[in-house]
Structure 1
Amino acid sequence: MEPTQSDDKEPELADSRWFHHAEMFANTSFWAVARRLPAIVRESVSIAWTASRRDTIAAIGLTLVAGVMTTLGLLATATVLQELFATGPTPDKVKAALPALTVAALATATRGGLQIAAGWAQARMAPQINFAIEIRLFEATTAVELGAFDDAGFAEDMDRARERGMIEAASLVNSTVDLVTGAVGVVATAAAVTVIEPLLLPCLVLASLPSAVTAVKVARREYVTLLSLITRRRRLWMLANLMANRHTAAEVRTYQMRGFLLGEYRRIMKSETDALLSLVRAQTATRLAGISLSGLATGGLYAALGGLLLLGNIPLAAAATALIALQQARMSQNTAIFAANNLYEDALYYGDYRSFLDRAESHLPKSGGTKVDGFDEIRLTDVRLKYPDTETPAVDGVSMTLRRGQVIALVGENGSGKSSLAKLIAGLYEPVEGEIRWDGVSVADLDRASLASQVAVTTQDLFKFPFTAAQNILIGRHDRTGDGPSITTAARAAAAHDMIEKLPFGYRTLLDRAFKQGHDLSGGEWQRLVSARAFYRDAALLICDEPSSALDARAEHAIFQQLRAHPNRAIVLITHRLANVRHADHIYVLHEGRVVQHGDHDSLMAEGGLYKELFELQASGYRAAGV
């Protein structure tokens, strides 16, 4: 049955497999969350400690001392009120209260200064934490094997780690410091209240529970909703980029895609809007219930204080101090609850970051092994490559031998496995079966970094790096310390030097129109630049996957002349232009992942079969009518 535009069971609108795990978070009890807080705080302190020990000690230590000042100030206030409410002449009351009043003022001023200093240390930690966390993430994303990006869900986990998980690390630490600040304030006032009247302490604790439970429930609901929207938002981002992008503008207009793209965006956006409105309704109901219970608890607290006054169990001065302490406790309690709310939510998102790092670690290449310094022979024996979630292998039982100085051509129709085989040869993938040996040593026993340094790859599916023309070539071997071709030598070899010289700023021209004074190249010009990068790399193995698909005849001729001019390297050539493989030392013809023919051009033409068929089909296009 033909698919229709009304089909709405698309992957980005369906619940992801990991959504059920989020439901477990949503159903976690308040006490379970409270039990998790100590571990979260330890994790947060560890992050802060790694980023800056001095600022961590300052932020937490100064906050604790400020709490001591809070207790001291409240007790001094109680003494002041007791003296003022005592019997005797008014001047005597004031005089008797002056020492306690001085202590209260000094304690308040000191506490304020300490809180400012703690805030300064806390603010200093954020950029240091962001730096450490971001570097750690990108160290992981750039170190994993290429196959990791074929793993189902890896890219989605990476997006979650980048979108919220990474930026929540600093917020996690901030929330922890705020939680400590609020908790210290509550403890400080609780200590003062205990000295004044112990019976008020349990009332204070009971009054705070409704707000705490409400905060956690609201956080869990929001996390689960936002987590379920991740895939939709990725789809929305993709559609938005298509509708507001210079590179897609021409094709969008040529095919009149405006209506289709807007329709898709509206449909997915409506689904997201409905989910967010549902979240608002649920959170409002939760907050309403929480406020109601909190009001009842607060009323009970003041009723208990009034009862103690009526029964004469507490003097008026102590009651007045208790009211001040209770107000401070409420402010500290709100700070602590808000921080705990944010801390729990931040920890959920930061958990995505940690989970991704764990997943990335499982995709890291094996470290160590024999160093590689060139090769004489690369031998593949019955290698097989199968991508995840696919039934048919991309490469199926291929054997071949590459020798230094040879040009090896891989030929076949689209989907025959040429590019996948080239990636195996380059070491970008490991075969699921079979073996690849460099000079008799299995690639599994070779040092992966030194092996990669022997390989250069050019491909038609190139990425346009937003660097200058010179930098686009330099990244071919940015860390070169020994001899090798210069940037201009590599550019000349790729017939790119004259083209680069004609740019507005020559080799210093930024190749991205998204930036001021940026410039762009045509497809063929980019392909020449990428070829220059490969020549600059000066590797022992050069893999050219359709290196001339966008080149004009003159540039194509120049590049292939350059490829044949270096007998000290092995070249693997993939191209649909079979005239370019006639002079290859050995040609492998692939079909559905298998080698169906191999030999040189003359032997393959004499043998007949797929190679001859493809070659003659192309050649017929160049023959004059009637010839």
Structure 2
Amino acid sequence: MGEAGRRRGRESDAGLPSLATAWWDAHTDALARTGFLRVAARLPATMAGAVAVAWRADRADTVIALVLSLLGGVATSYGLLATRDVLVALFAAGPTLDRVQAALPALAAVAVAVAVRSALAIGAGWAQARLMPRVLTLVERQLFELTTRVELAAFDDPGFTDEMKRARNRGGLALQAVVRGTLDLAVGLAGLAGTAVALLVVHPLLLAALFLASLPGAWAAVRVARLSYVSERNRTSRRRRMWMLGELMAERLTAAEVRVFTMRGFLLGEYDRMAAAETEAELEVVAGQTRVRMLGGLLSGCATAGLYIVLGLLLAGGVLPLAAAATAVLALQAARMSLSLALTNVNKIYEEGLYFGDYTEFAHRCADRLPPPAETAGVPAPRAIDVKLAGLSYGDDGPAALDGVSLTARRGQTIALVGENGSGKTSLATLLAGLRVPTSGAVTWDGLPLHRAERADVWRHVALVSQEYWRWPFTAARNITLGTAEEDPARMRAAAVKAGAHQMIENLPDGYDTLLSRVFAGGQDLSGGQWQRLTCARAFYRDAPLLICDEPSAALDPKAEHALFASLRAGAERRITVLITHRLANVRHADRIYVLHRGRIAEEGTHGQLMALGGRYAELFTLQADGYLEERIA
């Protein structure tokens, strides 16, 4: 059994079910077998990609950092050759004072070279420091541009969450590390090139020996990076599970249920099992990396000893004069420092390049999930929406949420979607709003298929009150005007009045300017019903020709619920209104009621027609009505 199989086996022993296998598990083993030559072949492309991103982030700083790094190598070479001239002058025959005087010009050259090299390094570091935040901002912005544009169906893919988590957590930081590593590698390679030139001038054999001596360290650096990457990739799902458990144990919204249902022991037990498996995996990586480093260090030590043996033989054989040999020793020491810097950054570039590869792979997958280019320019406000034999499935192998659904909604009409949980009501609403594309059939606005239209143009005409609304951490005013191009205070207050939220907002410490999140100093929180009123106010402010209300009164008290539905009926003639609710008394005035059952329309008609039919709607309505009558009689 491979590591991936052992990992899944360990995780399946826990009380929590295993997460779905993501696409990236398929080539983990292939990555583990990647050889040194393939890694070396990959580095230029990785570095070129990093430089390209840095170029887009800030051209001037990229050029400055690269040019100054390369000039630093020239200064290194010049300094070593000047050092040779100093040693030649000092080791020459004659009085000591004369030799020192003869060496002074070369000493001055060495001093200038050291000063220039230091200045170049400082300048390159300054440009690099300026470049890093711009690179991170650019990459994160590109990621969020994609995640906010992909089809909503992308979030139904079990692997999408893992991919997005890796891309978000390491993508931008990984590219920063790759760019920094590339620039630092340029410094190391420039220094190495400078010492190589000096060694080539002293004796070509020393250059070849230096190259051979660098191979063990390079192999160890790449191998350590690969072990770390494969382990991180394998452990993403487990860490995601640990994060989920941590949120359940340290979240305000779950705190009451954790206590009243005595879940503490269960959750801690699950966390302990995940943590034990995670610790075991980390120890396995540390052990493997230690073995590689020990072997690489041993081979590097032997290779370095061989390098100095070659130097000693050249000196003993009279091939090298003493001054040249001393220069070679200094050059070899400089080369070791440059080589160490280069190998460290080869390690960094390869490892972080793999993580950035996750980012680029995710970006490519997002690009494949973007809506197709619009075939029409602009989308007018719909006068009629037609759903024709529409089907919808979540994921490639998921069950059908809708199957052969057809209906028509016209401006001025209120249609209601009712049915049991899981019958397809919310799924149908997402088709009407253009949030999802049907897997079969079609949805058209005034004859225009929505999949051929620009989605942003479609959504400008939609207002949605979702049953899974988000508590946006902005002011009350901003919560109402979200997504609109302009803010109209009078219109905002009118929308709040319609939703029954105005007085509630006025009672907040700063009224409409109150921050609605305790994350901020002085921020306030609202009850579930208050948040729902605010969500309804947002929909009224948008004043869109298509209004979809999915359980808009689930958290409202009876008085607020009555006022909300009165407001919905008041402006219904100017729009298409879609109501989804389990409280059937609120849909009696709908122009058309569609009863869904297992993804199909089981019944349709007005309230009176459906009650006369005596079918599923009549049964559900009678059950609710009897419950109220029994309470009143009691």
The TM-score by the shorter chain falls in which range? over 0.9
**Quick one: which of 515, 532, 541 aligns to 2:520?**
515
Contact 1:384 1:397 in 2 (8 A): yes
Hey, what does 2:559 align to over in structure 1?
A: 554
Aligned counterparts of 1:132 and 1:151: Cα–Cα separation in 2: 26
Q: Secondary structure at the match of 1:410?
A: strand
Corresponding letter in the other structure for 2:492: I
Hey, what does 2:548 align to over in structure 1?
A: 543
CA shift digits 1:130-153 (9 cap, x unpaired): 111111000000011111101231
Q: For structure 1, list consecutive stretches of 5 or more residues without a partner in the other structure.
A: none
Hey, what does 2:413 align to over in structure 1?
A: 406
Corresponding letter in the other structure for 1:488: R
Give the deviation of 1:160 after TM superposition. Answer: 0.8
Superposed, 1:182-221 pairs within 5 Å as 182-221=188-227
Corresponding letter in the other structure for 1:177: L
Distance 1:9 1:304, change over 3 A: farther
Aligned counterparts of 2:606 and 2:135: Cα–Cα separation in 1: 59
Hey, what does 1:504 align to over in structure 2?
A: 509
The answer on 1:395 being equivalent to 2:402 is yes
Give the deviation of 1:12 after TM superposition. Answer: 4.5
Superposed, 1:74-473 pairs within 5 Å as 74-368=80-374, 369-473=376-480
Q: Which moved more, 1:342-351 or 1:22-31?
A: 22-31
Give the deviation of 1:16 after TM superposition. Answer: 5.0
Corresponding letter in the other structure for 1:501: E
RMSD: 1.7
Give the deviation of 1:108 after TM superposition. Answer: 1.1
Aligned counterparts of 1:17 and 1:478: Cα–Cα separation in 2: 38
Give the deviation of 1:463 after TM superposition. Answer: 1.2
Give the deviation of 1:43 after TM superposition. Answer: 0.8
Q: Secondary structure at the match of 1:166?
A: helix
Contact 1:371 1:447 in 2 (8 A): yes
Identical positions, percent: 54
Q: Secondary structure at the match of 1:394?
A: strand
Aligned counterparts of 1:411 and 1:246: Cα–Cα separation in 2: 33
Give the deviation of 1:197 after TM superposition. Answer: 1.6
**Quick one: which of 552, 558, 581 aligns to 1:575?**
581
Distance 1:323 1:548, change over 3 A: same
Contact 2:551 2:581 in 1 (8 A): yes
Superposed, 1:521-540 pairs within 5 Å as 521-540=526-545
TM-score (norm 1): 0.97
Hey, what does 1:606 align to over in structure 2?
A: 612
TM-score (norm 2): 0.95
Aligned counterparts of 1:553 and 1:20: Cα–Cα separation in 2: 54
Contact 1:485 1:538 in 2 (8 A): no
Corresponding letter in the other structure for 1:505: D
CA shift digits 1:498-527 (9 cap, x unpaired): 001111221111111232211111111111
Contact 2:225 2:351 in 1 (8 A): yes
Contact 1:59 1:118 in 2 (8 A): yes
Aligned counterparts of 1:571 and 1:498: Cα–Cα separation in 2: 26
Contact 1:70 1:111 in 2 (8 A): yes
Give the deviation of 1:180 after TM superposition. Answer: 0.8
Aligned counterparts of 1:352 and 1:157: Cα–Cα separation in 2: 7
Q: Secondary structure at the match of 1:622?
A: helix
Give the deviation of 1:6 after TM superposition. Answer: 8.8
Aligned counterparts of 2:489 and 2:512: Cα–Cα separation in 1: 19
Give the deviation of 1:429 after TM superposition. Answer: 0.6
Corresponding letter in the other structure for 2:327: T
Q: Secondary structure at the match of 2:515?
A: coil
Distance 1:484 1:416, change over 3 A: farther
Contact 1:371 1:446 in 2 (8 A): yes
Hey, what does 1:596 align to over in structure 2?
A: 602
The answer on 1:487 being equivalent to 2:492 is yes
Contact 2:16 2:270 in 1 (8 A): no
Aligned counterparts of 1:148 and 1:415: Cα–Cα separation in 2: 20
Corresponding letter in the other structure for 2:52: S
Q: Secondary structure at the match of 1:28?
A: coil
The answer on 1:585 being equivalent to 2:597 is no
Distance 1:626 1:128, change over 3 A: closer
Distance 1:424 1:585, change over 3 A: same
Give the deviation of 1:601 after TM superposition. Answer: 0.6
Q: Secondary structure at the match of 2:55?
A: helix
Contact 2:547 2:577 in 1 (8 A): yes
Aligned counterparts of 1:228 and 1:11: Cα–Cα separation in 2: 17
Give the deviation of 1:22 after TM superposition. Answer: 2.3
Contact 2:20 2:159 in 1 (8 A): no
Contact 1:16 1:228 in 2 (8 A): no
Give the deviation of 1:466 after TM superposition. Answer: 1.1
Q: Secondary structure at the match of 2:629?
A: coil
Corresponding letter in the other structure for 1:511: L
Q: Secondary structure at the match of 2:423?
A: coil
Corresponding letter in the other structure for 1:491: A
Aligned counterparts of 2:15 and 2:223: Cα–Cα separation in 1: 30
Give the deviation of 1:484 after TM superposition. Answer: 10
Aligned counterparts of 2:602 and 2:41: Cα–Cα separation in 1: 64
Distance 1:455 1:485, change over 3 A: farther
Q: Secondary structure at the match of 1:211?
A: helix
Aligned counterparts of 1:200 and 1:438: Cα–Cα separation in 2: 77
Aligned counterparts of 2:633 and 2:520: Cα–Cα separation in 1: 54
Aligned counterparts of 1:508 and 1:18: Cα–Cα separation in 2: 46
Hey, what does 2:623 align to over in structure 1?
A: 617
Corresponding letter in the other structure for 1:161: A
Aligned counterparts of 2:200 and 2:377: Cα–Cα separation in 1: 69
Aligned counterparts of 1:192 and 1:163: Cα–Cα separation in 2: 44
